[in-house]
Amino acid sequence: MGKYTDFTRSAPGTAKDIQDTKDAVQQPSSRSNVITAVNEDPSVRKALKSKKLRLRRRRKIREWGEFTLYLLPSLAGVVVFFFLPLLMLVKTSFQRSSTNTEFVGFKNYSRTMDNEAFIKAAKNTLTFAAISVPLAVILALLLALLLNSGLPGKSVFRSILLNPMMVPVASIVLIWQVFFSYNGVLNGWMADWFGSDPTDWMKSDKAQIVIMLLFLWKNLGYNMVLFLAALNNIPTEVIESAKMDGANSITRFFRIKMHYLSPTVFFVAIMSLISSFKIFREVYLLTGDYPYDTLYMLQHFMNNAFTHLDYSKLSSGAIIMCIAMIIIVGVLFFAESKFDADVEE
Amino acid sequence: MDNNELRTQRRMAATLARRNVYIETPKTNSFFESMTEEERAAFAKNSARQSAADKRRRKIRGNILTVLGLIVASIAALLAIIPIFFTFLNSFMSSGEIIDNYGVIFNSLSGYAQGGATFLSKTPTLKLVPQRVTVEQYKNLLFMSPTYLFKFWNSIILVVPIVAGQMAVACLASYSFARYRRKRREILFFSYIILMLMPFQVTLVPNYIISDKLGILNTEWAIILPGVFSTFSIFLLTKYMRQIPSAYIEAAKLDGANEWQIFIHIALPTCKSAIFALIILLFIDYWNMVEQPLVLLTDPDKQPLSVFLSQINSAEIGIAFAASALYMIPPLLIFLKGEEYLVEGISRSGVK
């Protein structure tokens, strides 16, 4: 069979494939260029067919094997480091504790859901996402529109606005403290200019605003670049013909550009959502383990549970979050597909 | 002849004209027809003047709008860049000057006192330009406190293997996902996406459990290994590789290339900008990481600089600015070198 192995590379059922197979079955008489009917003998035909099938199967298996080989390193790692532990997590979430394997049903879940700290953390995280994600999307879109409206020095502005993304949070926290701490620069200015009483930015309800500023500062550049790319991809003919028809710039934006931008809007929203869940980093660096109430994020809850090694609490909390995330993203995807249905040309 | 009838006739004529049949239509009594030659000339002159004025007005308005836009964009750019500048400029002040300027902030902040902040009568002075430029801070940092260099090295030792490993694994995997599209593979790919979307809070617990089981907790491997197998770059690279025209691949196949050759000579070069962009993105992301070391590395000696910086801020304010500035130099250098790749990579990732 060694002779046939290289056939597996060519597309299935090509003329060459059949020709050579036929040669193998029917001896030298058909070496010439004369076309002979292959199907004269039913048994020959059958043999041919089965051989073809066998070759195709072998090719398929080979293809599968080859591509699985490429995937294998990643798959092994993902299974070991993510899928298996997630399964273990599900298992422990139904157990009394990590050592006591007694099945307790949904007790851990109800315990976590009743936990005041968890509720507070979840509420804070969701509030933060609900406010900052739309802001990040809209402001980035406005910036992109501004830069795209024929402003000189577009690429310079783009580079500058992209800069904050590169700066590690840990380095910039210092500046935020200088500005927003109780004795900080901002309070000093406020007192100088308006004579207002100092606000304790980090330890009042305004703390979320400070964190939001940091979040926007860091993420607007990335979102803006995504929008700029999408704006460049809108066919100019469509915009021009709308101009001809007398559509003003606002109508043009909502009726035409928005339709082309909608996939990007969803992409940006999802990316911002992911990074808004990562906001713990900023909060931790600014305020430490136990921040002001409105800044107590889910990660704080997790970290504090880690220090007590409360596995059942941890695992049920993680699973609840996982489900919530799947629901949020699912809704976004669903909305996108609904929205996209009439955009597709 | 009433107007409606006339309109019907003209429409009819237009329809016929499309079939190259031309018929006589009655003249309309338009405004233009009713004018005499002189009137027409005057009218044309007038309207020319008007449109010129219009154009001028529009140009002025456009200029004003551009200036306004420039102002807004400049403000945004200024806001974006000021904290970075501020850090660098302050890093060249002497320690004494720093304490003079900002000591008041960090005195009231020490130990993150709970609600214990008192407002001191002295307000801090925000200074951009140092009185005297010195490298005192840097000197102190690099030669007096060896922990800093240690932590810097820790950061490098964590980030470089993660980025290199993840790129190698991700290139192979996304090639497979891009070229072999069967139903079960798509399901697997979808589960990869979901894994990518999971916030840290969810994946950190499994990470902790598995590193505990494997006995690598509190070693670098507890962070490096999950980092290497993170699925973020697979998602973006697969998206990218699916855009490779199949004609390229078919042509290579006809020339007798095997899969490995296609991968090395076609897929990788085509995705070069995406790979560079991802390297940059991953580098920032992991250079920045705080959560994983906090949870997985309990030994403070092994923690990277990012965690350390949050502690230096309150304790040794004199060298904090230099430490922050040094910490942001590697990503900024990478950004300056690879900005084009980064922008192109980001742009292509968002567009379907």
Asked if residue B282 lies in contact with residue B167, where contact means CB atoms within 8 angstroms, the answer is yes
Asked if residue B296 lies in contact with residue B207, where contact means CB atoms within 8 angstroms, the answer is yes
* CA pair distance B208, B200, nearest whole angstrom: 12
Beta bridge partners of A103: A95
**What would the pLDDT profile of A123-155 be if each residue is shown by its tens digit?**
888 888 899 999 999 999 999 999 988 888 888
* CA pair distance A177, A202, nearest whole angstrom: 9
DSSP structural state of residue B115? S
Give me the residues of B, 40-79, that contact A with CB < 8 A.
66, 69-70, 72-73, 76-77, 79
Among the residue ranges A62-71, A75-84, A137-146, A305-314, the one predicted with the least confidence is A305-314
* CA pair distance B291, A281, nearest whole angstrom: 7
* CA pair distance B177, B200, nearest whole angstrom: 25
- B198 in reach of chain A (CB within 8 A): yes
Give me the pLDDT at residue A274, please.
82
Please give the single-letter amino acid code of residue A69. L
Tracing tokens 């590379």 back to the chain, one arrives at A9
- B284 in reach of chain A (CB within 8 A): yes
Mean pLDDT of A184-198: 71
Q: Do A169 and B306 touch (CB under 8 A)?
A: yes
**What would the pLDDT profile of A236-272 be if each residue is shown by its tens digit?**
898 888 888 888 888 888 888 888 888 888 888 888 9
Asked if residue A253 lies in contact with residue A204, where contact means CB atoms within 8 angstroms, the answer is no
Give me the pLDDT at residue A217, please.
92
Q: How many helices (H) and strands (E) does chain B have?
A: 17, 0
Percent of chain A with pLDDT over 90: 11
CA distances from A177 to A193, B81, B313 (A): 21, 17, 9
- Averaged pLDDT score across all residues of chain A: 79
DSSP structural state of residue B167? H
- A169 in reach of chain B (CB within 8 A): yes
Asked if residue A147 lies in contact with residue A230, where contact means CB atoms within 8 angstroms, the answer is no
Q: What tokens does B278 get? A: 């991802």
Q: Where are the domains positioned within chain A?
A: 50-93, 110-344
Where is pLDDT greater, at B26 or A326? A326
Question: Cα B41 to chain center, whole Å?
Answer: 59
**How far A73 CA lies from chain B's nearest CA (Å)?**
6
- Which residue of A60, A95, A166 to mutate against B (max B Cβ within 10 Å)? A166
Asked if residue B333 lies in contact with residue A215, where contact means CB atoms within 8 angstroms, the answer is no
Q: What tokens does A319 get? A: 């699973």
**How far B37 CA lies from chain A's nearest CA (Å)?**
31
Identify the band that residue A39 occupies on the pLDDT scale cut at 50, 70 and 90: low
Angle formed by the axes of helices A116-148 and A207-232, to 10°? 40
- A165 in reach of chain B (CB within 8 A): yes
Please give the single-letter amino acid code of residue A19. Q
Give me the pLDDT at residue A107, please.
80
Q: Is residue A193 scored above 50 in pLDDT?
A: yes
Nearest C-alpha neighbor of B209 from the set A275, A140, A138, A95: A95
* CA pair distance B131, B85, nearest whole angstrom: 16
Give me the pLDDT at residue B351, please.
59
Instruction: Kindly report the length of chain B.
Output: 352
Please list, in sequence order, all residues whose beta carbon lies within 8 angstroms of the beta carbon of residue B86, skipping any fewer than 6 positions away: A175, B128
Nearest C-alpha neighbor of B350 from the set B277, B254, B264, B272: B277
Beta bridge partners of B301: none
Q: Which residues of A touch B209 (CB under 8 A)?
A: 85, 88-89, 92
Phi and psi, residue A95, nearest 5°: -105, 160
* CA pair distance B296, B221, nearest whole angstrom: 10
- A248 in reach of chain B (CB within 8 A): no
Q: Is residue A235 scored above 60 in pLDDT?
A: yes
DSSP structural state of residue A295? G
Q: Which residues of B touch A75 (CB under 8 A)?
A: 173, 188
Q: What tokens does A147 get? A: 């830069």
Q: What tokens does B84 get? A: 């970075």
**How far B1 CA lies from chain A's nearest CA (Å)?**
32
Q: What tokens does B70 get? A: 């420039």
Give me the pLDDT at residue B314, please.
54
**Predicted confidence pLDDT, tens digits, chain B (352 residues):** 577 888 888 888 889 999 988 888 777 677 777 888 888 899 999 999 999 999 999 999 989 988 999 999 999 999 888 888 888 888 888 777 777 777 666 655 544 444 444 455 555 666 667 777 777 778 777 777 777 788 888 889 999 999 999 999 999 999 999 988 888 888 898 888 888 878 777 777 778 888 888 888 888 888 899 889 988 889 888 888 888 888 998 999 899 888 899 999 989 998 888 899 889 889 988 888 887 888 788 787 888 888 777 666 555 677 778 888 888 888 999 888 888 888 888 887 765 5
Q: Do B335 and A163 touch (CB under 8 A)?
A: yes
Asked if residue B126 lies in contact with residue B103, where contact means CB atoms within 8 angstroms, the answer is no
Q: Torsion angle, CA of B40/B44/B45/B46, rounded to 10 degrees? A: 100
Q: Which residues of A touch B277 (CB under 8 A)?
A: none
CATH (residue range A110-344): 1.10.3720.10
Identify the band that residue A37 occupies on the pLDDT scale cut at 50, 70 and 90: low
* CA pair distance B58, B60, nearest whole angstrom: 5
Mean pLDDT of A95-100: 71
Q: Do B77 and A302 touch (CB under 8 A)?
A: no
Nearest C-alpha neighbor of B233 from the set B172, B288, B297: B172
Beta bridge partners of A95: A103
The 10 Å CB-count burial string (b at 16+, else e) for A219-257 is bbbbbbbbbbbbbeeeeeeebeebeeeebeeeebeeebb
Give me the pLDDT at residue B116, please.
44
Give me the pLDDT at residue A10, please.
46
Cross-chain CB nearest to A170 (options B115, B263, B327): B327
